[in-house]
Amino acid sequence: MRALLDIHVLIALHDRDHVLHIRAATWFEANIKHGWASCPLMQNGCLRIMNQPGYSSPQPLAVLMTMLQRSTNTTVHETWFDDISILDSARFQHAHMHGHRQLTDLYLLGLAVKNKGRLVSFDQRVPMSTVVGARAENMMTL
């Protein structure tokens, strides 16, 4: 099952000094044969975070763009377009949403379910019941 990497996993993979780099890289190497995906939302988030002055080792945007282009320009990568809406009650159980910290993870899980893939995240608090049709195999917590 193809893996949609969340922003923090994508950052950890690309930053060798990140505290979770080894965990992310080990998982990635063991699972790359199934392929991975990104979407514009997480690509932008990765670039924004790794470029900001408050990041532990900020890089120039041009360097980061080249890095991400190189990573995504492979046969094992697919871009999944942000073509669903968190407002869609056919995809999301709004009554199960409880705060702003969940929204991006829930959106990405919904995108993974739509594309018959799985979300890979460090976050252990993604409420699966919020995404219609989500099953255990649609979520991988590192």
The domain total for the chain is 1
What is the SS3 assignment for 141?
strand
Count Cβ atoms within 10 A of the Cβ of residue 54 and give its class: 0-12 exposed, 13-18 middle, 19 or more buried. Answer: exposed
Residue 86, pLDDT score: 97
Residue 106, pLDDT score: 96
Neighbouring CB atoms inside 10 A of 65's CB total: 14
Structure tokens at 68: 């991400």
Structure tokens at 69: 């282009």
Residue 71, pLDDT score: 97
pLDDT per 10-residue tile (average), the chain, 142 residues = 97 97 98 97 97 96 98 98 97 94 94 98 93 98 96
pTM summary value: 0.94
Neighbouring CB atoms inside 10 A of 125's CB total: 9
Q: Which domain holds residue 58?
A: 3-141
Give the helix/strand (H/E) hosting 121.
strand 118-121
CATH code for position 49 = 3.40.50.1010
